[in-house]
Structure 1
Amino acid sequence: MRFRTLLFFISAAAVTIPCLVMGWFQYTAVEREFAEDDRTRAEISLLVSERLEAKVDNAVSLVTAAAEILKSEEGVPTEKLNQILEELRKASPDILNMHFDNPSAVSMAFSPQKNKHGESNIGVSHKERSHWQNPHVLDGLSVSSLVQAVGASDRKIVNITKPVYSNGRFVGLAVAALDLEQIAAQVLKGFATDAYQIGIFGRNGEVIFSSGKSVPLHNLTIEERTHRSFTFSNAEYYGYVRPLAVTDWSVGVFSRTVDRKAVLVQLFIRNVFVWLATFLTAIVIGFLASISVVRAVEKLTRQMTAARILPDKSERIKSPRELVQLQRTYGRMQERLITAQNRLKELNFSLEEKVKKQVQTIQRHEALLTSLFSDMKEGIVLFNEKLEMRFCNPSAVRLLNLSEEEAKKRFLALVKEMHQSRDKHLFIQSQGFDLELRMFESGAKDVFCVFVRDATSELQIDRLKDELIGIAAHELKTPLAGVRMAAECLSKTVQDPESKETAAELLESADEMKSMISRWLDVAKLQTGSYEIHPEFCLIKPMIRKALKHFSGFKDFECSLEISPDAAAANVDKQAFMQIVQNLLSNAYKYRKEGGVCRVKIQTRKSGDFLELKVEDEGIGLPESAIDKIFDRFYQVRMDPARKIGGTGLGLYITKELVLLHKGKITVASTLGEGTVFTLELPALPTETEKGKDE
């Protein structure tokens, strides 16, 4: 957005918002004035009504008192009645005259007794007067509308009439004439009658009194004048009318009409003109003020486009001060930027030279390694983290005896298989040869190397060695039985303690030799696949206790059992299971802490369709490097050269193979210096095949 456009919007906002706020305040002020005017009319109407009601109520009270006197003083002389009326009239200056009329409508007492012409007011017939139009009113009291007095006065009056009855007989009328102009003058005292016109209306809407002539009350319709407690307006005036409680009169407060809608429209138009004038003034002032800013920005833009550190004569900014400072700051930044760019060019050139040398070195090393790998008799295959083949030397293809494409597919399948295995080690046969494959990972696991070699001769040697061990074990069993029998006879027949000890040692050595031969035979059977097991559903606790009898004489051996009720039986071969437990206990005893007690804990729990057996010891533990080899044949952990640990290294190998024969699983976890935990999973229930055989 351009600067002047932005300035236009800012000026519009700066002018519009205050004008809107000012207009709103003016509008609310006018509305408050209108509301205040209505409230004032209502208050004036209320006060006038209350004062007028008080005056009329006082007059009604005096008339009622006069009626009671006439009733009680029936038959008294006229002079006394005149005196009573005179006293009552003096009690209220608003009463112009009071008189008693007999049933014939002739005045029999009057105050004042004479009119302004000196004529007597007593004995005058009032039959045609307004207060005799309806003498027998139902509610006992009537207030007339405005009438012209005749005889006693020539002023306009309002008559308050009270009929008098004695024992059901009509006695006459008690009448009081009110001077309405005098009452109105007293009632309206203190009100601003120049701003508001006050009117009093009779029962038929006639104007009884008006405080002025600014509003022609005679033009009001009957409905308007008799409307009760209502604010109304027409084309000429506003008004508020309310009734009186003691009479059927109404009091109205009126003022000249003010066109409120026109006032609001004029206010709106005036504010629009003010806003427009202010806005145009702000735009002009802003435009004049922006000229110097725009020119300064254009100069700075030309300098920045040319990337000059110092501006030329036509680009030098003189005002405003902030842009002068900005131009200086830009010059310093541009100078530092040029220096940094030059330095960056030098670094890039140096880096390019180093990268070029490094690439050349890598290329030489790659050529050397390629030459080395190509000349190796062993196969080398490299894969990336996505298991995509990146290199394969000729020996790897030759060992598989396949075409290059077929060899790549074969290696891809083998590396996926080894990638999922734990030991990353595999033996395969190809064209009558035994090949060994090992996979190695880089530290970042982004390169996988598969090493392939011909292991045919080594495996043949292993098979010959296994055959030799099996033959030797079979051949040694017969002479070993004779040696053991001779040792038993010797221990029973000799009496010399030294000879007995020698016979016992010979017997112990024969038992150890027998155990070793048994292990060799088991290994041979496991290697050839001739080892057979006969699983049956049985309790495991008795078998564990039977295996523990071998250690019953060892004082430095302790074992605790925690057999879960839902894991108390398993589908296993009894002899094989006892051999598994005995091998694990023997391993724990051999690798106990030197000079300490061997503590072993055996736990069982149900895990799906399998029984989970844990054998945990507190021995010396295993290093991480030994965990992957612990189940290999003839492997023994050697941590302390000074400590001699016996055995052949076949116990855990046999244990693993027996577990696998049960279609189970065995894992090991160890912490060096704290102990080792072997976890076995064995079938808890007979398989479907075994159930079919039993049936």
Structure 2
Amino acid sequence: MRFRTYLFYLMAVTLSLPLLVLTYTQYMMIEQEIERENTLLVEDASALSNNVKGRVLAAKGLVTMAANVYALEGQQNHYRLNKILIGLRDALPYFSNVHFDSPEGVTVAFDPPRNPKGESNIGVDHTQREHWKLVNGQDFPIVSDVIQAVGAASGPIVNIMSPAVNEKGTVVGYAVSALNLRALYDEVVAGLGLKDCVVWILDSKGMPIYANDRSDYKDAIMPREEIRKYLEGPKVVSKVNRPSGSNLVGVIAPIEGLDWVVGIFKRAEDRETMVLSLIATNLLIFLFLLLFSFMMARFACKPLTDNVSRLMLQVREGRAVPTPSEKVQTPLELVELQKAFCRLLGKVQSHQSEIKELKDHSSSSLSRELELTRDDAKFLRQIIMSSPQSIVITDSNGFIRLASERAVEQFGSINIGTSFKRLLRTKFELEDSGSERSGSDLVKLKETATGKEFLLFKSQSYIGSEKREIYVLSERI
């Protein structure tokens, strides 16, 4: 695997780790937000249930009280009965209409007195109406499910009916009210902050008393069996799958004292969109980081690639330094390095025996030459060290590498590696320069302490490729 690929993977991992941590943090924040929202849904469902219960029971109480007054007043005092009905509608704005019926089901007092067509609501036979079928023969208050209004009202309504029973226990009539479901909904949701929620108030059959996500109230929103399934489980947030429209996530809660339920939901797609948005955003960031890592890896390894490419050409051609025209232009030519090396390896293996013989012979010759060289070097060192002249040998930078015993005696002490010119200035003064003769220099010096004159002879030599300068100091006679 190429170095660029390794570098790309390394940078991708390095940049991806913070992104993964950020994604996890954002996901946990979304989870916490959903949990907080679920808690609010449970609390709002309970509050809405209590609000509906309170409003309906208040209406039921007023209707029962009106029935009791009706039982005392009788049917004769129509003015008094109408005043009671007007007071009831003023007390509760979600009363669509209220009326008193005779035991035979004929209205004896009604507010409002006329229906939308301008016809009188007094003396109308209600025996064929839905509410009469529920209350006829009963001696206790009844709250109906959703029914379709006929006559004085239109659309779906809920009737509250209470029998008027006199002192003898005889039913002398009925007090009946129709609830304005829209007005009731506005009353019960006030202050709950359910603007972005789907809210249902359903009767015992699953018919919508009110549902803010639909205008058609002809069909049940949820079968009774399914409602019972939700009510039997714990009061937690559940998902409601709908055949049409978006699925919902929320809570279904019973209304105590009534066979009704309330439901408060959020659209499941909103939550899914929130999670998908997080995934899409972080995926785009991840792809951007991968592209950035690739570009940075390519940029960072380009100098290395260029150098290896040049090395490939040098190996292939056998030269140390390539000319400008020989420099490679693309990293793809690195493949040539492998091919050239394989060819070279094949040639070396084919002449392995010759190479071994040559190596053995070279090693033997080299050992002999090295031994002779050591002896010659030792002999020359002894000559230099025992010379009566002061001899100092320096490298090309002027630092002392060797000094004869006479030089050490003359200068007092000499440390290997110190500058010879600096050492000269501590003992001698330069008088003038001599003439150059066949590559050597002759310099006149005067010893500072005694005033004696000396000649400094300089010559050059090479040990391999390293330059050496030889200085010989002798007293002038």
When normalised by structure 2's length, the TM-score is 0.52
Contact 1:63–1:175 (CA under 8 A) maintained in structure 2: yes
Distance 2:163 2:41 in 1: 37
Distance 1:38 1:186 in 2: 24
- Is 1:209 the equivalent of 2:210? yes
1:134 aligned partner: 134
- Is 1:24 the equivalent of 2:24? yes
Distance 2:48 2:239 in 1: 19
| Counterparts in 2 of 1:21 and 1:138: CA distance versus 1, 3 Å | farther
- Is 1:234 the equivalent of 2:237? no
2:88 aligned partner: 88
1:154 shift after superposition? 3.4
1:50 shift after superposition? 3.8
Which of residues 252, 275, 297 in structure 1 aligns to 2:286? 275
Letter in 2 for 1:237: N
Contact 1:197–1:214 (CA under 8 A) maintained in structure 2: no
Partner SS state of residue 146, structure 1: strand
Distance 1:34 1:100 in 2: 50
RMSD between aligned residues: 4.2
Superimposed CA distance per residue, residues 474-512 of structure 1 (whole angstroms, 9 cap, x where no aligned partner): xxxxxxxxxxxxxxxxxxxxxxxxxxxxxxxxxxxxxxx
Distance 2:194 2:217 in 1: 14
Higher Rg? 1
1:582 aligned partner: none
1:6 shift after superposition? 7.1
Aligned pairs, how many? 304
2:15 aligned partner: 15
Letter in 2 for 1:65: M
| Counterparts in 2 of 1:47 and 1:278: CA distance versus 1, 3 Å | same
Partner SS state of residue 23, structure 2: helix
Distance 1:239 1:214 in 2: 21
| Counterparts in 2 of 1:20 and 1:217: CA distance versus 1, 3 Å | farther
Contact 2:139–2:165 (CA under 8 A) maintained in structure 1: no
2:440 aligned partner: none
Distance 1:185 1:265 in 2: 35
Contact 1:197–1:215 (CA under 8 A) maintained in structure 2: no
| Counterparts in 2 of 1:293 and 1:272: CA distance versus 1, 3 Å | same
| Counterparts in 2 of 1:193 and 1:92: CA distance versus 1, 3 Å | same
Distance 1:264 1:152 in 2: 50
1:160 shift after superposition? 0.4
Letter in 2 for 1:250: V
Distance 1:182 1:262 in 2: 34
Q: Which moved more, 1:100-109 or 1:44-53?
A: 44-53
Contact 1:108–1:123 (CA under 8 A) maintained in structure 2: yes
1:247 aligned partner: 258
| Counterparts in 2 of 1:137 and 1:272: CA distance versus 1, 3 Å | farther
What are structure 2's unaligned runs of at least 5 residues?
A: 311-319, 323-377, 379-477
Contact 2:147–2:157 (CA under 8 A) maintained in structure 1: yes
Letter in 2 for 1:233: V
Partner SS state of residue 210, structure 2: strand
1:78 aligned partner: 78
Distance 1:114 1:214 in 2: 27
Distance 1:217 1:151 in 2: 18
| Counterparts in 2 of 1:3 and 1:129: CA distance versus 1, 3 Å | closer
Superimposed CA distance per residue, residues 532-588 of structure 1 (whole angstroms, 9 cap, x where no aligned partner): xxxxxxxxxxxxxxxxxxxxxxxxxxxxxxxxxxxxxxxxxxxxxxxxxxxxxxxxx
Superimposed CA distance per residue, residues 391-426 of structure 1 (whole angstroms, 9 cap, x where no aligned partner): xxxxxxxxxxxxxxxxxxxxxxxxxxxxxxxxxxxx
Contact 2:139–2:171 (CA under 8 A) maintained in structure 1: no
Residues 67-466 of structure 1: matches in 2 within 5 Å?
Answer: 67-74=67-74, 77-135=77-135, 140-166=140-166, 167-188=168-189, 195-213=196-214, 218=219, 220-222=221-223, 223-224=225-226, 227-228=230-231, 231-234=238-241, 236-240=246-250, 241-258=252-269, 264=275, 267-268=278-279, 271-272=282-283, 274-292=285-303
Partner SS state of residue 147, structure 1: strand
Distance 1:152 1:257 in 2: 40
Partner SS state of residue 121, structure 1: coil
Distance 2:85 2:277 in 1: 62
1:129 shift after superposition? 1.7
| Counterparts in 2 of 1:85 and 1:270: CA distance versus 1, 3 Å | closer
2:351 aligned partner: none
Distance 1:158 1:219 in 2: 15
1:159 shift after superposition? 0.7
Letter in 1 for 2:214: K
1:363 aligned partner: none
Letter in 1 for 2:263: G
Distance 1:72 1:220 in 2: 42
Superimposed CA distance per residue, residues 60-83 of structure 1 (whole angstroms, 9 cap, x where no aligned partner): 121121122233434762332222
Partner SS state of residue 11, structure 2: helix
| Counterparts in 2 of 1:126 and 1:297: CA distance versus 1, 3 Å | same
1:99 shift after superposition? 1.9
Distance 1:116 1:261 in 2: 47
1:276 shift after superposition? 4.4
Distance 2:74 2:130 in 1: 25
Distance 1:156 1:270 in 2: 47
2:382 aligned partner: none
1:192 shift after superposition? 7.6
1:121 shift after superposition? 2.8
Contact 2:142–2:160 (CA under 8 A) maintained in structure 1: yes
Letter in 2 for 1:27: Y
Partner SS state of residue 105, structure 1: coil
Contact 1:201–1:225 (CA under 8 A) maintained in structure 2: no
| Counterparts in 2 of 1:135 and 1:28: CA distance versus 1, 3 Å | same
| Counterparts in 2 of 1:262 and 1:104: CA distance versus 1, 3 Å | closer
Residues 493-512 of structure 1: matches in 2 within 5 Å?
Answer: none
What are structure 1's unaligned runs of at least 5 residues?
A: 300-311, 315-348, 350-695
When normalised by structure 1's length, the TM-score is 0.37
| Counterparts in 2 of 1:175 and 1:266: CA distance versus 1, 3 Å | closer
| Counterparts in 2 of 1:128 and 1:214: CA distance versus 1, 3 Å | closer
Contact 1:199–1:209 (CA under 8 A) maintained in structure 2: yes
1:217 shift after superposition? 9.4
Contact 2:206–2:220 (CA under 8 A) maintained in structure 1: no
Higher RCO (C-alpha under 8 Å, 6+ residues apart): 2
Partner SS state of residue 269, structure 2: coil
Letter in 1 for 2:255: L
Distance 1:216 1:127 in 2: 24
Contact 1:148–1:154 (CA under 8 A) maintained in structure 2: yes
Contact 2:107–2:121 (CA under 8 A) maintained in structure 1: yes
Distance 1:216 1:242 in 2: 20
| Counterparts in 2 of 1:41 and 1:237: CA distance versus 1, 3 Å | farther
Distance 2:217 2:296 in 1: 55
Distance 1:269 1:219 in 2: 38
1:552 aligned partner: none
| Counterparts in 2 of 1:293 and 1:208: CA distance versus 1, 3 Å | same
Distance 2:256 2:146 in 1: 18
| Counterparts in 2 of 1:268 and 1:151: CA distance versus 1, 3 Å | closer
1:244 shift after superposition? 2.0
Superimposed CA distance per residue, residues 67-121 of structure 1 (whole angstroms, 9 cap, x where no aligned partner): 2223343476233222222222222222122222232222233333343445443
